[in-house]
Amino acid sequence: MPVESWATSQTTRRSMQSNKSRDTGPELALRRELHRRGLRYRVGLAPLAGVRRTVDVAFPRLKIAVLVDGCFWHGCDQHHRLPKSHSDYWQAKLERNMARDRSTTQLLEQSGWRVIRLWEHEKIQDMADLVQRAVLEAAPKRATGPASRQPPARSADPSPQPSHRSARTSSDR
């Protein structure tokens, strides 16, 4: 039996065992880090009505979708190695996965979502930075500005209510 480098790596084996990308370590770690930074999100949301595509981490009000792609299942060009045995099967499967990824991104974008795709091999801090920046950009501006204060209240839900623009002018002091 040919020993493939990808199969010996423990992370790959783990991601192959749990087909659900939602349960992979990197995604959990990212969620934990985002939570630590005061961001609140939905997990495993299927934002498009009638479409069975789920988003790993979603900010529904801001329409930001974050997907953490496993290197093996989603064809990371740095780490994906096609298994030598049954390579036709794996190749076809990979192509299906990648086509599905593209269409998921497309469907979401057509519905006005911003899609952030991350590879599971990326550093958690880098992933979290990217997501946090997108959230800050999308969130309604606060009077103090995003960076001038501590991250949004720890325990309380930041609930960035989309400020009603018409009402804003009248209540403008």
Contacts with Zn ion, residue ranges (CB under 5 A): 71, 76, 78-79, 119, 121
Nearest approach in angstroms of CB 47 to Zn ion is 26
Nearest approach in angstroms of CB 76 to Zn ion is 3
CA distances from 134 to 58, 139, 143, 151 (A): 12, 8, 18, 14
Return the number of the residue (18 or 111) whose C-beta is nearest Zn ion. 18
Return the number of the residue (71 or 136) whose C-beta is nearest Zn ion. 71
Per the CB < 8 A criterion, the answer to whether 116 and 130 are in contact is yes
Nearest approach in angstroms of CB 71 to Zn ion is 3
Return the number of the residue (93 or 121) whose C-beta is nearest Zn ion. 121
What is the Cβ-side half-sphere exposure of residue 40, based on CA atoms within 13 angstroms? 10
Nearest approach in angstroms of CB 43 to Zn ion is 22
Return the number of the residue (63 or 80) whose C-beta is nearest Zn ion. 80
Nearest approach in angstroms of CB 75 to Zn ion is 9
Buried b (16+ CB within 10 A) or exposed e, 73-93: bbbeeebbeeeeeeeeebeee
Mutual angle of helices 124-138 and 25-36, in 10-degree steps: 50
Looking up tokens 């958690």 gives 124
Return the number of the residue (121 or 141) whose C-beta is nearest Zn ion. 121
Tokens in use for 99? 């086509």
